[in-house]
Structure 1
Amino acid sequence: MDKIIDEKTQGNTLTLEAREGNSRKLYIESYGCAMNFSDSEIVASILADQGYNTTNLLEEADLVLVNTCSIRDKAEQTVRKRLEKYNAVKRINPKMKVGVLGCMAERLKEKFLEEEKIVDLVVGPDAYKDIPNLLKEVEEGRDAVNVILSKEETYGDISPVRLGGNGITAFVSITRGCDNMCTFCVVPFTRGRERSRDPQSIMEEVNDLAEKGYKEITLLGQNVDSYLWYGGGLKKDFKKASEMQQATATDFAQLLDLVATAHPKMRIRFSTSNPQDMHEEVLYVMAKHENICNHIHLPVQSGSTRILKEMNRQHTREEYMKLIDRIWEIIPGCAISQDMIVGFPTETEEDHKETLSLMEYVKYDFGYMYKYSERPGTMAARKLEDDVPEETKSRRLTEIVDLQQKHSAIRTAEFLGKTVTVLIEKESKKNKDEWSGRTEHNNVAVFPKSTYKPGDFVKVKVTDCTTATLIGEVVEHS
């Protein structure tokens, strides 16, 4: 759950420039967090070398892949409906092959292949390099599955194809898997234990993006601030590393400093952070570099220490509040966003009130809020009864969302009359005569187009705002 789920991008079909000589068509749809969208870029790169160009027309595809998420029941139900659609098209075009990638694939492999027979191949998050072999199995009339979780795979040697991107912002994956074992979360079971990517391969990818004109990158992982490279291997095995490996290891603060120093004109973001791993060294690096955005996505999940313990979160309410205070001491005005789960098993009205009071303390800039949904295979599903009534969950979620909107309005209004730096990303959806971009605090800003273009940094004076958007006018190029 410690992942940002952008509802606007769910189910996006990803396309890129056709490679000359490729004759087969790949249709790939992605659901879930940014990690899944990043993984789809890796898959497209692998398949481009196998003769596939992407298409956004389902009916003309030779291969249809859906990259899935098991974080919430809603995501799984959406994917099931899409599989029904794919198979309806497949009846018209029987040569089409359908495959499921990602977290849901790992969790439901037997159902998809054997019981329901709705897919031809099933590929887990660590097995994407095996897709060409699996396709050969399918072409020879056999079902194909590889959901083996790896202790080493980071895809550091694959240069991702930037699918459906704007040529301005990009994700760079730095870790895979997770060791935290939060009781509500399937990620450790679907993506495996945590391992970090070689910093040299990360820098090569960032350098390549800079050469291609990208202006902003987001360092990405299930838990970015626990990044630790000591020559390869699982994070949990670091204690077994040699003295030399431990002495020369690279942690997240050092990696962040390395990237920001190498490309001072490129904006740097990172996501997602875990409170237990957000060390002060990272905050000092952020304060040191102007090009590192002053925004931290810091999921808390609940304001109740008792519920946090039930969730197996490795922090208390009080520790989280101290961390917030420290962030603002070192980086004044840093924007903080949250993930919150309501209605976790045994949550009482008192626990709920503690969540509301924590929100009042922090006044988050924005957040991602969900009702608890039991995920098969998690510790919560095995050991805790989902005992909070659905109507209670809905009411509590409404209260939390309403409070967040109030706080978002307060935070956004703080920029009225101020001048902010905005990276222009695209045309505004609501007005074709306006550009839309983001500030370093991750606020969306819209303003008249004038002579500027996507990829420009501009200074915008804020004259008005909504709860989520700054409205203003450009005063100069940045």
Structure 2
Amino acid sequence: MKPPRKLHIKSYGCQMNVYDAQRMVDTLAGEGFVETASVDDADLVILNTCHIREKASEKVYSELGRLRVMKDDAARQGREMKIAVAGCVAQAEGEEIIRRAPTVDVVVGPQSYHHLPQLLARAQAHGRALETEFPVEDKFEFLAPPKPAAIRARGISSFVTVQEGCDKFCTFCVVPYTRGAEVSRPVGKIIDDVMRLADNGVREITLIGQNVNAYHGEGPDGRVWPLGRLLQRLAEIPGIARLRYSTSHPRDVDDSLIEAHRDLPALMPFVHLPVQSGSDRVLAAMNRRHTARDYHEVIDRFRAARQDIAFSSDFIVGFPGETEEEFSATLALVMQIGYAGAYSFKYSPRPGTPAADMRETVSAAEMDERLVRLQDLIDSQQSAFNKAMIGKTVDVLFERAARNPGQIVGRTAWLQPAHVMASPDIIGQVLPVTIESLERYSLLGELALPVARPQPSPFSQMTTGA
């Protein structure tokens, strides 16, 4: 029997890339590959790239330079190492990667990774392989279920892709060009995936998509189902304790989604809802298709449905032409909404997007100063939100052993890590925890009730540090 070949994947960026990396592992398992955390002895290294962040391409080429040295060293030792570039940088710059990085064997876009076995065979026969088409429906049709052993190895929480692509065409964003138009998976296939995960011990499902609440998949009744109806159905699956979804667009929050938050205890009261700016002029220049008031009204609808709901968001600082007054509108919006956390970035142009041609740039110094002010405000809100948990008893889904001996870590409904001293037998359970203190962003507490010793979950032997 041939020894298994070792596969190392380095993923950048969003949750979609994390999910895609897992499915690459599943896809290549049938070709005799097993995943390794070390790049040093890998037979195949895949860089699963993201094109959202600044200088994403150059970071890829820098990493490829390091891998070229490792590939040459492996060849001198008589061992063959293959290198593949996947993801959105591959989609956007496939030909350029082939030209600039001769060490790369395979370039594959995010909609084509299910062709990896064929591409590797093509590279073996012809030297190199490139595929960056947009066959999203073909990819969704291919999505074979991971093996139970793979599910258990990944833990009690799992991502499930339900939607890909985006039709919004925000002027700063490359996603419509690298991931394509919005496409949704059929409801039946999603149900099958979630039932299989639940049967293998997964307790929490996060539905993901570039614009997940634009979901419009075909239901078993032949009708189009929105995300809210899909969530209603998934909440009925035995074993699934928690449901989440990410990332949403304010324009696609419909009544069915609000009702799901009102009616489903399994749907967690935490929503990531990017706004990007508090200025209506900047929002229009971004082609966000909503105003600050529209965003406030969506928040109010969520809060009317569930009073304990909390929010995170995305912000871009220094979009072309942003004035100090317009930036102040963003600070005012943050003050008015109150966030449990948020991601904030300085604007950087993406080649091929409309904003890249806008001439009224904001200086680097102004962007730096504004970003500090915004992040200080967001950090203060997050800190206040976390401190408010002290003395309360909240439900925690326990995930794994923590770094400190005897500690088990899980997450609250609002995604805060919570640590208790307990037996690993509680992994996979949702239990009440009384929060006693806060250590940076982690909550520390103790189990609120005596826990009867259960049968160990499939994950109780996991010892990965938090």
Q: Distance in 2 between matches of 1:283 and 1:48?
A: 40
Cα displacement (A) at 1:115: 3.3
Code of the aligned partner of 1:415: M
Q: Deviations over 1:201-225 (max 9, x none)?
A: 1111100111101111101111111
State the secondary structure of the residue aligned to 1:153.
helix
Given the alignment, which residue of 16, 22, 26 partners 1:35?
Answer: 16
| Aligned-partner residue type, residue 327 of structure 1 | F
Q: Does 1:56 align with 2:37?
A: yes
| 2:449 equivalent to 1:449 | no
Corresponding residue for residue 208 of structure 1: 196
Identity, % of aligned positions: 36
Mapped pair 1:159 → 2:150: no
Post-superposition Cα deviations, 1:261-288, rounded to whole Å, max 9, x if no partner, equal 2236521111111111011221211221
Identify the residue that residue 337 of structure 2 maps to in structure 1: 362
Residue 412 of structure 1 corresponds to which residue in structure 2?
386
Q: Is 1:186 paired with 2:160?
A: no
Query: How do 1:205-284 and structure 2 match up within 5 A?
Result: 205-230=193-218, 248-263=223-238, 265-284=240-259
1:60 positional shift: 2.3
TM-fit CA distance, 1:54: 1.9
Cα distance in structure 1, aligned partners of 2:423 and 2:192: 36
- Name which of 119, 122, 147 aligns with 1:137: 122
Q: 1:230 to 1:216 in 2, by over 3 A?
A: closer
Match of 2:158 in 1: 170
2:208–2:246 contact (8 Å) kept in structure 1: yes
Following superposition of structure 1 onto structure 2, how do residues 75-86 of structure 1 map, counting pairs within 5 Å? 75-86=56-67
Distance 1:231 1:200, change over 3 A: closer
- Equivalent in the alignment of 1:118: 103
Decide which moves more: 310-319 or 76-85.
76-85
**3-state DSSP class of the match of 1:347?**
coil
- Contact kept, 8 Å, 1:408 with 1:467, in 2: the verdict is no
SS at match of 1:218: strand
CA distance, structure 2, for counterparts of residue 292 and residue 64 of structure 1:
37
What is the 5 A alignment of 1:388-467?
Answer: 388-429=362-403, 431-449=404-422, 452-466=425-439
Contact 1:166 1:425 in 2 (8 A): no
Instruction: Kindly indicate whether the alpha-carbon contact (under 8 Å) linking 2:320 and 2:361 is maintained by their aligned counterparts in 1.
Output: yes
SS at match of 1:340: strand
Specify the alignment match of 1:235 in structure 2. none
Q: Distance in 1 between matches of 2:139 and 2:437?
A: 44
What do residues 161-200 of structure 1 show as CA deviations (whole Å, max 9, x unaligned)?
6489542111011011111111111111111111000111
Partner-residue secondary structure (3-state), 1:290: coil
Distance 2:311 2:94 in 1: 38
- Say which SS state the counterpart of residue 330 (structure 2) adopts: helix
Residues 421, 446 of structure 2: 8 Å contact kept: yes
Separation in structure 2 between the aligned mates of residue 218 and residue 436 of structure 1, nearest angstrom: 19
Secondary structure in structure 2 of the residue aligned to 1:152:
helix
Q: 2:285 aligns with which of 306, 310, 325?
A: 310
User: TM-score if structure 2 supplies the norm length?
Assistant: 0.90
Partner deviation per Cα, 1:342-374 (whole Å, 9 max, x = no partner): 111111101110000000001100011111111
1:333 to 301, 308, 326: 308
Whether contact under 8 Å (2:226, 2:256) holds in the other structure is no
Q: 368, 378, 392: which one pairs with 2:353? A: 378
What SS does the corresponding residue of 2:134 show, helix, strand or coil?
coil
Cα RMSD after superposing both structures = 2.1
Quote the Cα distance in structure 1 between the aligned partners of 2:377 and 2:202: 36
Q: What does 1:19-30 align with in structure 2 at a 5 Å threshold?
A: 23-30=4-11
Aligned to 1:70: 51
Q: Is the 8 Å Cα contact of residues 109 and 132 (structure 2) preserved in structure 1?
A: yes
| Partner SS for 1:72 | coil
Contact between 1:463 and 1:472, CA under 8 Å: does it hold in 2? yes
Structure 1 equivalent of residue 458 of structure 2? none
Alpha-carbon separation, structure 1, partners of 2:206 and 2:312: 16
CA distance in 1 between counterparts of 2:439 and 2:330 reads 25
Aligned match for 1:107, one of 72, 92, 97:
92
Deviations 1:42-80 (A, max 9, x none): 111111112222222323222211100000125434333
Show CA shifts across 1:116-135 (max 9, x none). Answer: 32311100011112222211
In 2, Cα distance between the equivalents of 1:326 and 1:66? 41
The residue type equivalent to 1:42 in the other structure is: R
The one-letter code sitting in structure 2 at the alignment partner of 1:49 is G
2:88–2:109 contact (8 Å) kept in structure 1: yes
Contact 1:434/1:448, CA 8 A, preserved across alignment: yes
Where does residue 462 of structure 2 map in the other structure? none
- The alignment covers a number of residue pairs equal to 444
Further displaced range: 114-123 or 168-177: 114-123
* Cα distance change of structure 1 residues 127 and 289 upon mapping to structure 2, 3 Å threshold: same
Shift of the 265–146 alpha-carbon distance from structure 1 to 2, 3 Å rule, reads closer
Q: Separation in 2 of the partners of 1:268 and 1:179?
A: 25
- Say which is worse superposed, 447-456 or 63-72, in terms of deviation: 447-456
The one-letter code matched in structure 1 to 2:89 is M
So what's the TM-score if we normalise by structure 1? 0.88
Q: Which runs of 5+ in 2 are unaligned?
A: 453-466
Query: For residues 151 and 32 of structure 1, what CA distance do their matches in structure 2 show?
Result: 20
Determine helix, strand or coil for the equivalent of 1:104.
helix
SS at match of 2:235: helix
Cα offsets for 1:284-317 (capped at 9, x unmatched): 1122111111110001111111111111101100
Match of 1:46 in 2: 27
State the distance in 1 between where 2:218 and 2:428 align: 36
Deviation per CA, 1:370-417, whole angstroms, max 9, x where unpaired? 111111121211x31361111111111100110011111222222222
Distance 2:390 2:322 in 1: 38
| Pair 1:88 & 2:62 matched | no
